[in-house]
Amino acid sequence: MAKFLGLDCSTQSITAVILDSNHKTIVYQKSLSYGKFLPEYKSPDGFLIHPDPLIKHSNPLMWASALDLICQTMQDDGVNLAEIAGISGSAQQHGTVYLNKDFLREDWLLKAESLAGAVKALLTRESSPIWMDSSTFADCRRIDAALGGPEQVRLRSGSSATERFAGPQISRFAREDANAYAGTAVIHLVSSFMASLLIGASAPIDHGDGAGMNLLNLSTLQWDAELLAATAPNLDIKLPQLVPSTHIIGEIHPYFCRYGFRKATPVIAWSGDNPNSLIGVGGWKPGTAVISLGTSDTFFAAMDRMATDPEGYGHVFGNPAGGFMSLICFKNGSLAREQIRKQYDLSWQEFDTCAFELTQPGNGGNIMLPYFTPEITPLVLNAGPVFEGNSMFKAQKSAAAAVRALVEAQAMTMRLHSAWQQQKTKKVRVTGGASKSDGICQVIADVFDAGVERLQISDSGAQGAAMRATQGGGAMDWASLSRSFCACDAGKTRKPIPANVAIYNELINDYAALEKSITG
């Protein structure tokens, strides 16, 4: 048997990817959005509508229903699930699910008609805060203070106390609903909750996703007693065990035989979507950085040693292939590109021509700070782009210069704010819609002095999970998985041009100085 299943429970949809390790092919891929297929949960975008814009919760029963739904859909699509030799999963990071002591028993799934039906009575909190929630500012500051300052939290957990992370969210729940918190026997991440449903028992949390909680000590890979104590009372007895992401956590529960799964199909630990995507795009090994050009731009990379961002913007998670990975998020991604394109009435083709052919590297000294929307890396609360350079540029009268300035700024801010990793980027893999642009890819190659490879993978989380299931099942190793499933079109690689690299090595200092003049 050579088929492996990866599932991805993301913010808006559930996805399944099945890969065949003998033929080195993806044999099935399906995504179902909660809004369309589970309208009864009244979450068109995957979360519950709330009058307070800082609060973003989802109904965990929706995720349980989605798991039933995707299994049913695979069966209806004629997939023989008895051929699946291993399963793993990916889930949006940071969300938490709160359950009572009956979830720790062995029989809660035995006679169930549906997963949501089995779990409903076991929840101690009806809704789950997700990564989009930013209601825990006060909790973050309390945790910082208890540890003796924000650097302590960062040095231990890999990230400063962060609003969307599980720890601050647990802290808020314990303060605001102490009774429900006291009745909570176990707190899961979305990933370990979904894994629990698959094995019909409370599953462990993996190091990849566990690092997104402000609770895991990255030096010991154990829960940090002081962070736990600063977060909420008795938290040590409510958290699952920690395991490496490659760990086989159990066998699929007989409940799933109704969909055709074979009894005892092994389940490999689930992880967060970013650790899974690192694997899914072939970025498991230090030296390769991944840049995903999406609504927000994200930069992530396997790290060759543990380091943290002294400025507190970057995060460190576990790399499922061992060691650590960075994740840095820039809000002004496609949003900013779209804004400039519209402002100058350009097609995407024209945008690319501006960035590539009509302007020169260094942009004649014209620099932009691309804060079209409030930025998180670096922290800029008052949005508004900054134009510094000649008068035409400052008056925003030159489309070509504005496009190049934006593209250069987005690449330079990524280099600047990933420098804390102190490792040489030898290769960059770029994904997402804007990776089609030759201009953008060439600027990234020149700014990072690294070859840029383009990769079109639509479901990198689910693909990474399927690859992890294959590795965990012993069928293939990381290197052969990456070669087989993350191959790039060699003809489209962009190489750094030494003269341009030299220009950006200078310009980045001017860019950093301009940024400092705004952020202080």
Positions in the binding site for ligand XUL (CB under 6 A): 11, 92-94, 131, 164, 212, 272-274, 315, 327
Of residues 377 and 435, the one with the C-beta less far from ligand XUL: 377
Q: Min. distance of Cβ 156 from ligand XUL in angstroms?
A: 18
Under 8 Å CB-to-CB from 15, ≥6 apart: which residues? Answer: 7, 8, 29, 30, 31, 32, 70, 459, 461, 462
Q: Residue 77, class by beta-carbon neighbours within 10 Å (0-12 exposed, 13-18 middle, 19+ buried)?
A: exposed
Q: Min. distance of Cβ 503 from ligand XUL in angstroms?
A: 33
Helix (H, G, I), strand (E, B) or coil at 173: helix
CA distance 254 to 277: 29
Of residues 11 and 96, the one with the C-beta less far from ligand XUL: 11
Q: Min. distance of Cβ 361 from ligand XUL in angstroms?
A: 31
> Which ranges of 344-398 does DSSP label H, i.e. alpha helix?
348-356, 391-394
CA distance 87 to 252: 9
- Is the separation of the CB atoms in 132 and 56 below 8 Å? yes
Q: Min. distance of Cβ 294 from ligand XUL in angstroms?
A: 10
Tokens of residue 75, six digits: 């069966």
What are the residues facing 431 on neighbouring strands?
292
Of residues 374 and 384, the one with the C-beta less far from ligand XUL: 374
Q: Min. distance of Cβ 274 from ligand XUL in angstroms?
A: 5
CA distance 439 to 232: 49
Q: Min. distance of Cβ 170 from ligand XUL in angstroms?
A: 16
Q: Min. distance of Cβ 104 from ligand XUL in angstroms?
A: 27
DSSP per-residue string spanning 33-91: EHHHH-GGG--TTSS---SSTT--EE-HHHHHHHHHHHHHHHHHTT--GGGEEEEEEEE
Q: Min. distance of Cβ 375 from ligand XUL in angstroms?
A: 16
Of residues 191 and 231, the one with the C-beta less far from ligand XUL: 191
Of residues 246 and 274, the one with the C-beta less far from ligand XUL: 274
Of residues 56 and 125, the one with the C-beta less far from ligand XUL: 56
Of residues 144 and 297, the one with the C-beta less far from ligand XUL: 297
Q: Min. distance of Cβ 317 from ligand XUL in angstroms?
A: 8
| Secondary structure, 3-state, 182-251 | HCCCEEEEHHHHHHHHHHCCCCCEEHHHHHHHCCEECCCCEECHHHHHHHCCCHHHCCCCEECCCCEEEE
CA distance 498 to 67: 50
Q: Residue 220, class by beta-carbon neighbours within 10 Å (0-12 exposed, 13-18 middle, 19+ buried)?
A: exposed
Q: Min. distance of Cβ 356 from ligand XUL in angstroms?
A: 30
Sign, CA torsion 501/361/420/330 = negative
CA distance 79 to 28: 8
Of residues 144 and 163, the one with the C-beta less far from ligand XUL: 163
Tokens of residue 265, six digits: 């199909």
Of residues 124 and 162, the one with the C-beta less far from ligand XUL: 162
Residue with the shortest CB distance to ligand XUL: 93
Of residues 272 and 472, the one with the C-beta less far from ligand XUL: 272
Selection from 277, 268, 283, 377 nearest residue 332 by Cα = 377
Q: What is the DSSP letter of 312?
A: S
